[in-house]
Amino acid sequence: MADHAAKFPAMFTPRLRLRQFEPKDDIGLYACLGNQDLVRYWDFAPCKNIQEARGWVRTLSKTTQPYSAIAWAVADITTDKCIGMVNYHHREAYRRKLEIGYILQAEHHGQGLMTEAVRMVMSHCIEQLKTRRIEAIIHPDNAPSIRLAKRLGFEFEGGPLRDYWRVGDRFMSPVVYSFIAS
């Protein structure tokens, strides 16, 4: 327990390093959260400038305890440049459930990188945190995200959850996919 709180669970995949966010990741994260197209189906408004992205880097780097949320910077294994983010949040340890999120810079799409990253985070959640239920709450028009979730074994469970996300002055109604670790 104390170990988890003290030590960030950095992990490697064949092509990626999943590590704690650092100040140098502002540009990489801004390329994700500042890209209007990319965050079309995201549950927060796009970052308007690099300062906002820096604020997110600070917030995401603080989530080092395993109970409710952790965010990993997804970094290229050779350059250590941040190209995306994967996280879990809304963890309820007693119920052995949590929700995951992920975003990848557009220029790195179509290579299986985020599938690799999310698979690793799922393994961590299942093996280290003893999570049973993993939720992915996805906008029904977010086809790449739905394909990713299905590729990893998530199944459609229900929805839409009406006006579940508030993004600025709009509300969005996502659907629920879930994975049950047996």
Ligand X SMILES: CC(C)(COP(=O)(O)OP(=O)(O)OC[C@H]1O[C@@H](n2cnc3c(N)ncnc32)[C@H](O)[C@@H]1OP(=O)(O)O)[C@@H](O)C(=O)NCCC(=O)NCCS
Q: What's the distance, Cα to Cα, between the start and end of the chain in Å?
A: 23
- For ligand X, the closer of residues 130 and 150 by Cβ is 150
* Least distance from ligand X to the Cβ atom of residue 27, Å: 17
Total residues interacting with ligand X, rule: CB under 6 A: 20
Kindly state the tokens that stand for 138. Answer: 């996805």
C-alpha to C-alpha distances, 167 to 43, 72, 148, nearest whole angstrom: 6, 23, 23
Q: Which residue among 95, 144, 161, 166 contacts ligand X (CB under 6 A)?
A: 144
User: Among residue numbers 1 through 60, which ones bind ligand X (CB under 6 A)?
Assistant: 38, 41-42
104 belongs to the binding site for ligand X (CB under 6 A): yes
- Taking contact as CB under 6 A, which single stretch among the options 59-67, 97-105, 120-128, 165-173 is the one that binds ligand X? 97-105
Beta-ladder partners of 84: 74, 104
- For ligand X, the closer of residues 41 and 67 by Cβ is 41
DSSP 8-state secondary structure symbol assigned to residue 25? G
Query: Rg of the chain over CA atoms, in angstroms?
Result: 15
**10 contact partners, CB below 8 Å, separation of at least 6:** 17, 18, 19, 20, 72
* Least distance from ligand X to the Cβ atom of residue 2, Å: 32
Q: Which residue among 111, 123, 128, 173 contacts ligand X (CB under 6 A)?
A: 111
**137 contact partners, CB below 8 Å, separation of at least 6:** 43, 99, 161, 164, 174, 175, 176, 177
Q: Which residue among 48, 58, 90, 147 contacts ligand X (CB under 6 A)?
A: 147
* Least distance from ligand X to the Cβ atom of residue 55, Å: 19
102 belongs to the binding site for ligand X (CB under 6 A): yes
